[in-house]
A and B are shown apart, each in its own frame.
Chain A
Amino acid sequence: MSQDSSSEVFDVAVIGGGVIGCAVARKFALEGARVVMLEKALDILDGASKGNSAILHTGFDAPPGSLELACIKAGYAEYLDIRERLNLPLVRAGALVLAWTEEQEAALPGLMEQARTNGITDIQPLTAAEALKLEPELAGTLRAAFRVPREHLIDPWSAPHAYLLQAIENGAVLRRDCEVLGGIYDGVAWRLETSRGGVQARLVVNAAGLYGDIVDERLTGRRDFHIKPRKGQFVVFDKTAARLTTHILLPVPSKTTKGIVVCRTAYGNLLVGPTAEEQEDRSVAELVPGALAALRRRGEEILPALAGEEVTAIYAGLRPATEYKDYRIRAHEGKAYITVGGIRSTGLSSALGVARYVQALAVKLGLPAQPLAEPVWPRLPALTDEGQRDWRAAGNAGIVCHCELVTRREVEAAMEGPLAPQTLAGLKRRTRVTMGRCQGFYCSAELAAMTRDRLAVAMTETADG
């Protein structure tokens, strides 16, 4: 925003532009609040939301009675409800929970019971033969399985982009490269001190993800939980691998992790991951060759035909786990402050539900809600083959990224508007450029030319300076 708004008192300041922050900002904006989002990185989705498995979970395996389950179910329902208006994809894949050992087989009835307790009543137990009939490429050593028909695949980036874009188009303000350093609540409003000056807001929502406990300490002086980053590495295979399975292939979960998943992506690739590795560092998720090779091997154990497929991409993300199992969402009495913490691995599914829950907490804290009569509904560009891709349309100005069939017009459109990226990573998340099998072999030069002087971090320095 060009005008100096430091004197403006916002209704809500949302700290953190991850999927949760984006959904929360949207909810408050739709409820008539004047919202400011404060993101410390150059772009949104730069922390925990950067790398996940892109599944829209039903909550069948969430802890019964948990806040996490309630938010997943509410988030799932709302996603289905709004996705067409926002032009967000949905691949109705369904999931198979696969048992490969006697021990895992013995765990299936309990998992199915848990699913039913969680209100997911359409699960179907399958013999190995039945499962292999559904997915003939599965290894023959399968012992048993059950099917969860309504586990789906979505796009991990267009969803949060759509949430924040809708917030912005309904009056919210985004400040990037804006880290919250401290703040004081004077009984009426917060005066936040940020790396880009002061911001005032009647209510603060801490959705800082991997930095949630640090932001709590900076603003409230205490930490109710400690973030214990849990790294997840992934291997993504080329699009020809996607024919190897229709379903999301889930393992029997262990106590600490949902385990290694094999599934298609909304973009038509196949991914294997994540690992679950605890670490101290909150910002760097290192890829480890041995772990990546092990993921590849695990993928080949589940789908033997994967052995002949090429790896397109590798990535690692950090989940903001805490010492607690459930989400840490709480309103701080007398402080007009809500912490949304510990959204460890289900945030993409639960975000819209979390946003509803947080908004209800805000009403209890006294923030008035006045839903917009006619909110704006932006439509996101279709990036998955389910939608009408721009390369099929007239006037697309030609393809710049051949692997992902991204057109010049799509890149130009992404470079404009209130959510224009400031980094190449941001441009990738908005358009999928360089995300394909060649990883920039063909399109780097053209992209560098197209984005010259338009990104905060340039793709290259120019030869003459």
Chain B
Amino acid sequence: MADSTPQSCDVAIVGGGPAGLAAAVALRKAGVASVVVLEREAQAGGIPRHCGHYPFGMREFNRVLRGPDYAARLVARALKSGVDIRTSVTVTALNPGGRLGLSTPEGAAELAAKRVLLCTGVREKSRAARLIGGEKPGGVLSTGALQGLVYLNHQKPFSRPVVLGTELVSFSALLTCRHMGIRPVAMVEPASRVTARWPTRLLPKLLRIPLLLDTGISAIHGGSKVTGVDLVTPDGGTRHIDCDGVIVTGAFLPEASLLRASHLAVDPASGGPDIDQFGRCSDPAYFAAGNLLRAVETAGWSWAEGRRAGNTIAHDLKSSLPEPREGLRLVMASDALKYAVPQRVAYPAGSPRSTTKIQLRVTRPVEGRLGLRIDGTELWSKPLSAMPERRLTVPVSMLPDGRKGTAEFFVREQAK
């Protein structure tokens, strides 16, 4: 990067992963002149950069790619589209009206953008945040850290780790281990079932790794390196197993620290920004897309969200979107419902630039009916069969146009 970071631009995109890069390309294609992607890592591409396995890219490139190749293609396409990608630039503050505080290798800087799109993604919940006890030896890694070490550095942090979690990313961790000749001694899951979908769950059997359900980790042992863990067994007892590392996978959280430290409204339920169906934040100069909105969807889903956000912002720069505060706020009226994204709908809801789906999540496995009511009147209900780790969508068109106030989503559970 020869020249220094610009002081102003049309659209600044915070985060150069699949969502941010897709948005940048869409903006350029829509004729927006200056689109700057701010990426804090030394290379753009986001998390797929260090997922050295398949399958990425079906939706975006009509072929199956490994993560790093997929990331490289996203970057190449953005550069070809005339996107200004600034790497090793960290956004340190989101100020009202689209003014960003930055840290660059040349020191602190500011960037004033007409619109800002936040695509800061997710991170895995750390061992600390899970309050796992014991000591603090080296060799306790998230999947992200493991993949960085293995795929970017070609290092082998351990050879016989325990894997905590059974999400999609947990199986990605198994593939990463296999790549480096690491043989996990067990895969443990506190819940009674595997989180990820079939056929991923066949992987431990294929790799001959014991899968222990109803089992948690209560303590990690070791001085400078892990020597073992204490497992909480299904009968409530404790069992020690020897291992030399722990991979703490999944339980993703939106990487929302920048957002939380800013003037923008945050939805405590999703952990992401409070947005309307255009992806617009409480300050209309700011938009958000990708996994920052909620944890966690695939790279392809985030890419599609980013592309849509890019188109919306391009539209907004030419002619403004509906007034942000005129519309419905979506409220979860059942403890079985965790959150809805977007959190509010501006009118007219049927604007072509709008997302077409409201994403909902449940807090536990639910069978019954999902419904919507406004002012105590039930508008509709439909059959519901949902798991907490799966997205559930409701077309925006199922919200009544022109209503203001709050709309309550509720669940009527089937008697068991």
Contact = CB atoms under 8 A, between A and B. Distances in A.
Interface residues of A, number: 53
Contacts of B58: none
B42 to A, nearest CB: 7
B156 A444 contact: no
A284 interface: yes
Nearest to B255: A438
B190 to A, nearest CB: 12
A311 B130 CA distance: 8
A235 B108 CA distance: 31
Contact of A460 (B107, B128, B131, B157): B157
Contact of B154 (A239, A423, A463): A463
Contacts, number: 148
A315 B127 CA distance: 11
Interface in B99-155: 103-108, 123-124, 126-129, 131-136, 138, 141-142, 144-145, 148-149, 152-155
B50 A445 contact: yes
A351 B407 CA distance: 60
A369 B338 CA distance: 69
Interface in B253-300: 253, 255, 257, 260-261, 268
A442 B133 contact: no
A398 B42 contact: yes
B195 interface: no
Interface stretch (A131-139, A180-188, A387-395): A387-395
B90 A392 contact: no
B224 interface: yes
Contacts of B128: 236, 311-314, 439
A70 interface: no
B233 interface: no
Q: Counting chain B CB atoms within 10 Å of each CB, which of A288, A403, A441, A442 scores highest? A: A441
B218 interface: yes
B40 interface: yes
Contact of B40 (A394, A399, A440, A445): A399
A399 B90 contact: yes
A308 interface: yes
Contacts of A124: none
B125 to A, nearest CB: 9
B141 A442 contact: no
B88 interface: yes
B219 A286 contact: yes
Q: A296, A423, A438, A462: which has the most chain B beta carbons within 10 Å?
A: A438
Given A296-B131, A395-B107, A444-B148, 7 more contacts: A287-B136, A398-B42, A423-B224, A437-B123, A437-B257, A441-B123, A445-B152
27 contacts: A240-B257, A286-B133, A308-B268, A310-B129, A310-B253, A312-B129, A313-B128, A314-B128, A392-B103, A392-B108, A396-B107, A398-B42, A405-B90, A423-B224, A437-B126, A439-B126, A439-B129, A441-B123, A441-B144, A444-B145, A445-B145, A445-B149, A460-B149, A460-B153, A460-B155, A460-B158, A463-B154
